[in-house]
């Protein structure tokens, strides 16, 4: 069938056959569909939706638009984690070595950030020399050797997604559950993993603020991945205030290293343990959540997780001195403590406001081609409900020029509210789907 016929069928509300969906994905891969035809199809799917069978067929076609990694040489069970993203979400950086230290291989292909801060790849690249560019053969060899590897999407893996995501970003078709499922799962299932755990966030700083919509996305992701033979669970977590006390690339790396040293913020570790428990349970190395939690805690107290992190940094060309001394991470020229105007309690820390401030400083991208400043951001961020004194620090702003510092001061002064009564943060780990 011609592209226009398939587009018209979806436009008119028909369910597409596997062959029609494969034609669409193939067209994105080899260029046989023009960009305007791909865009029209994306909009038709956005408006008309896809049923479960169509979504599964779309995801499978996306996954097989390139190579699927063969990790048969890795004898350990293989698990990965994916987050829908949030403010201060650095969990992958320390969770992967924790899980690897428990005997589960973690082959993780991550992305870059477009918005408030960098993605996992940008954070890792703030470690001097760290390379996220590895071939599939190098990826496979490192996972077999040390049990984990964190890289970017290679040209061989799910190439259709790169094309279609770029078009979704400029055609207003990003927030569509079937398209999100295809995008996330095609890359994750092409990694060669056995099981998958998803962190689906809701709240002001989340991709999908409404909890009901976030839950629907979580259920769809679990259903599609499970139907494709990959045991999957999703954990719903709140993202109304930033996760942890640091937002910004090198600053978040430093906080993840704190986590590996057993000194991580309470909220960051709560999400870390919730996701790690599900990874160990699905991988079959722990019989129940209590034992899974014990294994994860032991990976920290024994130092085994920190050793794994060091091994990964060294294997990917990073400066391991940064693991022991944060002075070896990029440092901002200006450090400004934002002071509380009064004594009281933290009534609110608006995740979106903090996100905007860090992007003003240069920690994130407004456009895909923007350069990220790895040193800037905020640290020492207060949490909702904490008591503060007049003149006490609400956070420390890390900036590299006076203009962006002034903008961030204004934004953060509105985002952090000091009140006479403590605010109440929502329950952080809300529900497990699947």
Give catalytic residues, as residue numbers. 82, 161, 168, 183, 187
DSSP states along 77-141: -BEEEEE---TT--HHHHHHHHHHHTT-BEEEEE----SSS--HHHHHHTSTT------HHHHHH
Sign of CA dihedral 144, 71, 107, 79: negative
The rounded distance, in Å, linking the Cα atoms of 177 and 174 is 9
Contacts 24+ apart (CB under 8 A), 290-297: 295/102, 296/98, 296/99, 296/102, 296/272, 297/273
Sheet architecture: strand order including 416-419: 387-388, 344-349, 416-419
d(CA 18, CA 3): 14
> Quick check: helix, strand or coil at residue 411?
helix
Report strand pairing: 195-202 vs 79-83. parallel
How many CB atoms within 10 Å of residue 251? Answer: 33
Q: Which class for 414: exposed (0-12), middle (13-18), buried (19 or more C-beta within 10 A)? A: exposed
Q: Show Cβ contacts of residue 406 under 8 Å, excluding neighbours closer than 6 positions.
A: none
Using alpha carbons, list the distances in angstroms from residue 66 to 63, 90, 155, 186, 195. 7, 29, 8, 10, 20
Contacts of 57 (CB under 8 A, 6+ apart): 16, 18, 21, 22
Question: How many CA atoms, within 13 angstroms, populate the side-chain half-sphere of residue 303?
Answer: 4
Calpha distance 329→322 (Å, rounded) = 6
Nearest to 331 by CA among 374, 361, 360: 374
């Amino acid at each position: 069938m011609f592209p226009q016929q398939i587009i018209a069928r979806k436009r008119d509300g028909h369910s597409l056959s596997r062959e029609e969906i494969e034609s669409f994905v193939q067209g994105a891969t080899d260029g046989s569909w023009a960009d305007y035809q791909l865009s029209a199809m994306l909009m038709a799917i956005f408006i008309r939706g896809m049923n479960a069978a169509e979504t599964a067929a779309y995801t499978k076609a996306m996954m097989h638009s390139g190579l699927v990694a063969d990790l048969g040489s890795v004898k350990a069970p293989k698990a990965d984690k994916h987050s829908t993203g949030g403010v201060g979400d650095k969990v992958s950086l320390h969770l992967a070595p924790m899980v690897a230290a428990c005997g589960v291989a973690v082959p993780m292909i991550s992305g870059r950030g477009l918005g408030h801060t960098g993605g996992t790849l940008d954070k890792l690249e703030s470690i001097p020399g760290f390379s996220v560019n590895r071939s599939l053969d190098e990826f496979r060899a490192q996972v077999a050797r040390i049990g984990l590897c964190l890289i970017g999407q290679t040209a061989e893996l799910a190439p259709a997604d790169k094309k279609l995501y770029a078009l979704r970003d400029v055609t207003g078709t990003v927030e569509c559950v079937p398209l999100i499922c295809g995008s996330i799962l095609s890359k994750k299932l092409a990694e060669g993993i056995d099981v998958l755990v998803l962190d689906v966030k809701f709240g002001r700083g989340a991709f999908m603020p409404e909890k009901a919509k976030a839950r629907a996305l979580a259920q769809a992701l679990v259903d599609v991945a499970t139907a494709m033979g990959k045991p999957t669970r999703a954990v719903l977590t709140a993202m109304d205030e930033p996760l942890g006390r640091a937002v910004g690339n090198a600053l978040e790396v430093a906080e993840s290293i704190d986590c590996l040293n057993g000194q991580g913020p309470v909220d960051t570790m709560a999400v870390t343990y919730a996701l790690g428990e599900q990874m160990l349970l699905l991988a079959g190395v722990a019989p129940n959540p209590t034992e899974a939690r014990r294994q994860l805690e032991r990976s920290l107290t024994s130092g085994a997780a920190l050793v794994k992190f060091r091994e990964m940094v060294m294997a990917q060309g990073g400066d391991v001195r940064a693991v022991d001394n944060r002075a070896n991470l990029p440092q901002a020229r200006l450090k400004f403590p934002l002071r509380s105007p009064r004594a009281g309690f933290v009534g609110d820390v608006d995740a979106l406001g903090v996100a905007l401030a860090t992007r003003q400083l240069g920690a994130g991208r407004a456009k895909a081609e923007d350069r990220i400043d790895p040193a800037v951001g905020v640290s020492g961020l207060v949490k909702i409900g904490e008591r503060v004194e007049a003149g006490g620090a609400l956070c420390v702003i890390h900036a590299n020029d006076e203009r962006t510092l002034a903008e961030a001061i204004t934004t953060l002064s509105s985002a952090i509210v000091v009140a006479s009564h403590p605010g109440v943060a929502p329950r952080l780990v809300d529900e497990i789907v699947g």
